[in-house]
Amino acid sequence: MKKIFLISTIIFLTAFSVKSQFFIGTTGELLAPTSKFQDEIGYGAGWNFLLGYSINKKIDVDLKYSQLFFPNTFYDKYRISSISSSIKYFFNLKNCRPYLSIGAGYYLKKFDLFFSLKYEEKSLRICPSIGILADSKILKNLFVNTSLTYIKSVHIISQNMDYHSKKIDLFNFNVGLLYFFGND
């Protein structure tokens, strides 16, 4: 509770900064499992929607909702839903803004096992990433966001049956658009 209060206070105090602004965005995702996770799933795709806040020119925070689908798996209807938050640190260059990011979140993994059995697992994850934010040259506050993220499940909270499923361990490449409200 103290951490939530501290984060809320920091965001509130910086909300009136001249350079702070809110942003929204969406991205498409291509997913590739690591060798540890390859025998459970193949390649996949997905999308996400995010809301964020630029504290200043160097730091952004965001909240993201993702849906990931893996059509070429041994299991039927394999999908992962995720809610996560991340903080980005930008290195300002003239035409683009490379960044490093660290995030954490909650995953819900679902798939059909055999016959009518449905497996469901809830877990916590971490997700470091590198990326580039570049001006789209279409609208004033519209930017193209490209990133590479490593997603790792660190702790399984619960599962609905005693079935050995591997922890999530994959790479995510995404490209999308972010729109920043307010003055730049």
pTM surpassing 0.75?
yes
Domain range for residue 85? 2-180
Give the pLDDT score at 94: 74
- Exposure class string for 135-149: b at 16+ Cβ within 10 A, else e: eeeeeeeebbbebeb
What is the CATH number for 175? 2.40.160.20
Q: Residue 154: beta bridge partners?
A: none
What span, in angstroms and rounded, lies between the C-alpha atoms of 133 and 52? Answer: 14
Contact between 60 and 87 (Cβ < 8 Å): yes
Per-residue tokens: 152:
């790792």
Q: How many independent structural domains does the chain possess?
A: 1
**Within the chain, what is the greatest distance between any pair of CA atoms?**
58
List the chain pLDDT tens, one digit each, 184 residues. Answer: 566 655 655 555 555 455 558 999 999 999 888 766 666 677 889 999 999 999 988 999 999 999 988 876 666 777 889 999 999 999 987 778 999 999 999 988 887 776 667 778 888 899 999 999 999 888 888 999 999 999 888 877 766 666 656 677 789 999 999 999 876 5
Give the pLDDT score at 72: 63
Q: Residue 98: beta bridge partners?
A: 132
Per-residue tokens: 78:
């394999």
